[in-house]
Amino acid sequence: MLEVFELQCFIQNYLWGKKGSASEVSRLSLAGQHIDSIDEKQFYAELWMGGLHKSPSLVKSSGQKLSEWIKRNNEALGEKSRLKFGDELPFLMKVLSINTALSIQVHPSKDYAEELHKQYPELYQDSNHKPEMAIALSNFEGLCGFRPYSEIRFFLEEIPEFQLIVGYDLINQFKKDTTDSQYLLKDIFYKLLTSEKEIVSQNLSSHKKKLQSLCDDKKDVLLAKLFNQLDCWFPNDVGCFCIYFLNYIQLSPGQAIYLGANDPHAYIYGDCIECMACSDNVVRAGLTPKYIDVKTLCTVLNFIGAPAESKLFCGVNENSYTTIFRPPVPDFAVACIKVPADEIYELLKRDVASIIIVVHGQGKITAPQDLILSTGKVFMIPANVILKIHVGFESLELYQAFVNL
């Protein structure tokens, strides 16, 4: 039987990450010896765990790429995983530490991703889909899915700048016509995103000034704090207006959201475990200096309005210590495992390979071999291996990613 082994993982220093020791990524990376020290002037955005070619994890004992180890030991993946995905891990698990909002974006379906890659390979260099899930490690903020149409109508009426950008007739039609709301919203959103930058900039400035003059209660209703923060990060960006169309979601630690194909979203602030299909397929809508493909965006976007609470993705208890989050895709699932201090616990057997990261606590694996568990360490577990864990003097918190079959 193949043994469990520790992974050396890589970080991404994107400018939207948290600086220095304020970052959960840097904390876990230092504790797990993925880095030797923390540079307080550096941004620490992502810790990657998997075999993705851009920054593959390494077998710590040998320095071999995980993807290469898997090719030579493909039985480690498990029969079901190999039949579905071949001899590679189809998922990437990450820790994210976000200090500045990521772009508003959408990921196309598998079929459409293949079509985009075929037609525009220079823009869409990946043919895979990119469903993803975020589980909050700290208080976490994001935008996710279109608001209920009643909320969008309210903001369109309360903010006259939208009439100047989109036009009174289209907005008035959306306010009165409840049968074609989805199609009218698509027209409004397309008009907003394709308006001249100067017109958008002027109306953003006008709206910002009006917000300053409002009472505190009215500022809260019109999301003044969020608008001003995004405007500070991305001045004159049309994405600042998108907060009035998309749900603003605030997660507490342990809560999750799942982002399937065609769901508009943006992470704004906080730390999370993220798991995703191996892909880099992104169509952007705003809060970015990068290319915005409005035609493709409005073709793939899901314009169905729904309340913010409907976007929460709930886990299911597998036992008293394990909560599993199973999204409606086969590429990945994530289990959150919390074991009290001084306990002996057998990790649930999986018939597919998995990767675990310790985010809190310490202990040791005593079977199938002896290994130390401590904060920040990452391990590869071959299929059908059962870990016996002795938890130390403080509780242990792990996240385990694996194929959802």
Q: Which of 147, 153, 284, 350 is catalytic?
A: 284
Tell me the one-letter amino acid at 18: K
Identity of the amino acid at 202 = Q
CA dihedral 347, 351, 352, 358 (to 10 degrees): 0
Dihedral pair phi/psi, residue 15, rounded to 5°: -70, -15
What are phi and psi for residue 65, nearest 5 degrees? -65, 140
Encode 278-290: b = buried (16+ Cβ within 10 Å), e = exposed: bbebbbbbbbbee
The enclosing H or E element of 258 equals strand 256-259
Phi and psi at residue 286, to the nearest 5°: 165, 180
Question: Residue 261 has which token pair?
Answer: 């194909």
Paired strand residues for 333: 402
How far apart are the C-alpha atoms of 42 and 23, rounded to whole Å? 10
| Residues 116, 111: Cα–Cα separation, whole Å | 9
Q: What Cα–Cα distance (Å) separates residue 372 from each residue in 32, 286, 361, 390?
A: 11, 44, 11, 10
Residue 82 catalytic? no
Q: 136 forms bridges with which residues in the sheet?
A: 272
Three-state SS for 308? helix
The residue type of 192 is L
54: tokens are 């851009």
Provide the CB-side half-sphere exposure for 58 (13 A, CA). Answer: 12
CA 402, CA 81: separation in Å to the nearest integer? Answer: 9
- Angular region, 322: left φ>0, alpha ψ -120 to 50, beta rest: beta
The catalytic residues are: 284
